[in-house]
Amino acid sequence: METNAGTRKVVLITGAAKRVGATIARALHAGGYDLALHYRRSRSEMDSLIGELEAQRADSTLAVSAELADIEHLPRIVDACIARYGRLDGLVNNASAFYPTPIGTVTVQQWNELFASNAQAPFFLAQAVAQHLKKTHGGIVSIADIYAQHPLARHPVYSMAKAALVAMTRSLARELAPEVRVNAIAPGAILWPESGKTYTDQAELIARTPLARTGTPEDVAAAVLFLLRDAKFTTGQILNVDGGRDLVI
Out of 39, 99, 158, 199, pick the active-site residue. Answer: 158
Half-sphere exposure of 162 (CA within 13 A, CB side): 26
The DSSP code for 52 is H
The 3-state DSSP class for residue 201 equals coil
Q: Are 185 and 130 in contact (CB under 8 A)?
A: no
User: Can 158 be counted among the known catalytic residues?
Assistant: yes
What distances in angstroms separate CA 68 from CA 38, 96, 114, one per listed residue?
A: 9, 10, 11
Distance CA 83, CA 205 (A): 46
Q: Are 193 and 214 in contact (CB under 8 A)?
A: no
Backbone angles phi, psi at 234, to 5 degrees: -130, 125
The 3-state DSSP class for residue 86 equals coil
> What sign results for the dihedral spanned by CA atoms 67, 19, 63, 179?
negative
Backbone angles phi, psi at 11, to 5 degrees: -130, 135
Q: Are 68 and 116 in contact (CB under 8 A)?
A: yes
Distance CA 241, CA 144 (A): 10
Q: What is the CA radius of gyration of the chain?
A: 17
Active site residues: 158
